[in-house]
Amino acid sequence: MADEGKQAEEGAYGRSEESLEDTRAAVAAGEGKVGRLGSASIPKLIAEFAIPAIAGMLVNAAYNLIDALFLGQAVGELGLAATQVAMPVMTVFMALAMLVGAGGNALAALKLGQGRHDLAERALGNTVTLSFALYAIIVVIASCPPVFDGLLTLSSATDEVRPGATVFMRIISYGFILQCIGMGVNNFIRTAGAPNRALGTMVIGAVACIAFNYLFVMVLGWGIAGSALATLCGQGCSCIAVLWYFLFTKGVPLKLRAACLKPDLRLCRSILALGLASFFVQIGAAVVNFFMNFLLVKYGALSPIGSDNALASIGLIMRVAMFTIMPLVGMSIAIQPILGFNYGARLFKRVRKTLLDGILAATAIALAMFIIVQVWPSQIISLFGITDPGLNDFTVYALRVQLLMLPIVGFQIVGSNYFQATGQPLKSSLLSLSRQILFLVPLLFILPEVLPSLVPGLTGLDALYIATPVADGCSIVLTFVFVMIELGRLRRKEAGQTAPRKEEGR
């Protein structure tokens, strides 16, 4: 892990470092929107990239909220519970899309910073190839009833919820390729210097999802199946818009060429390695969802609200929580091409400034989201069709508690994503795993057994949402240590650039 940063600078193919003067000359020679990543004002670049990236992630998160809004109004708590049971599998799909999409995009940004446009385009082509390979695997799994039923059981589907969850999951599975390209490959548009275009491809999909949800669920009365079909229609519109940009738009810095689709094992390994951090973030959420559903059924049965209502309530909170986190993920994605390009170009002062400015911006956004949730929780919950007064009060309180650490979560997300953007996947993966796997999963099992005895007024069900802010605090401390060490390393590299020959001799 200690040599990971150095290996990242050498690139996927072990390319030797150019002198600082040669690298800066290559940056200066960069044309158009890509070259300015190494020369334009950092705050202006972050603002330009962040606004569409954040909006795009909110749009992306809106898919789950849109399903919940329409199903909650049309079907009620049972519809919300069915989508919560399907949520872990849907999160796994997002993890796979981010594995290839974020990994390929990080590699492309690094290669553009090194002046290797050919490898950047091959990274794009191989990302699309990997997407289709993953799709083939998903289709096989979805077509195997024992495996599919096992996933439902693992997700703690009750007898009442299982039929609806089965329909929803199967439809989403067969359309996975639309999500993989529409969301994963979309990242390359941002690295190509067109953040507003990247946002546009996502907005098209979200608007289509809303329109088709209204038609299929509210007008035609297709229920859960209609909501799943509406989601695929929205993802399909985004997928078409993304492919259109790389295939038919003139003058784009990166093109999707047939020759670049040929699998390159070394490139594929680099893409998957760099995508592991984003993958672990999402797969961690899926693992948490699996365990959470199991524990909700267990402790919900011991509570007056019951298992199905516990699934509906906490599932709704997790959707809202994901929506509040998405702007922070959007900020980390926005600065990724800026970090990757400048790190590849060995402009370490710009790398450090980008990281610090990104953390500051993410913290400001997180604080704003925190205020909204704490001031208007009842209004947020009322949108999703929960009618039982007792369940509504429980949901409002749980939402406030679960998001207590939100103001400083942005630091953890941006900090862990930094290591992915700069080609240090092991560090990034560890930090990404820490928030949900290393800390949250153990706490989900420990706190329900310990907390009620320490605080008599609390139940095992209460402990499930209290575990989240505790895990957030632990992961933030760990990320702080890693970021401080990395900032020191960047300062030493800045100082060493004044005497490159001496540094080479060490």
Residues across the chain: 506
pLDDT (0 to 100) of residue 411: 93
pLDDT over 80 (residue 9): no
Per-residue confidence at 4, pLDDT binned at 50, 70, 90?
low
Enter the tokens of residue 254. Answer: 């990166």
Given its phi and psi angles, is residue 16 left (phi above 0), alpha (psi -120 to 50 degrees) or beta?
Answer: beta
Closest CA to 83 of 136, 162, 198: 162
Task: Return d(Cα 315, Cα 172) in angstroms, integer.
Answer: 18
End-to-end Cα spacing for the chain: 19
DSSP state of 19: P
Domain residue ranges of the chain, discontinuous segments joined by +: 29-496
pLDDT digits (tens, 9 = 90+) for 436-446: 788 988 998 99
Mean pLDDT across 464-483: 91
Place of tokens 């999703």: 384
pLDDT over 80 (residue 101): yes
Residue-wise DSSP of 319-365: HHHHHHHHHHHHHHHHHHHHHHHHHHTT-HHHHHHHHHHHHHHHHHH
Kindly report each contact of residues 213-220 with a partner whose C-beta sits within 8 Å and lies 24 or more positions away, as own/partner.
Answer: 213/66, 213/67, 213/70, 214/70, 217/70, 217/71, 217/74, 218/70, 218/73, 218/74
pLDDT (0 to 100) of residue 131: 92
Q: Are 296 and 311 in contact (CB under 8 A)?
A: yes
Place of tokens 């092991």: 426
C-alpha distance from residue 45 to each of 39, 192, 237, 486 (Å)? 10, 13, 28, 22
Enter the tokens of residue 480. Answer: 């702080």
Burial category of 76 from C-beta neighbours within 10 Å (exposed 0-12, middle 13-18, buried 19 and up): middle
Share of the chain above pLDDT 70, in %: 87
Per-residue confidence at 17, pLDDT binned at 50, 70, 90?
very low
Mean pLDDT across 465-482: 92
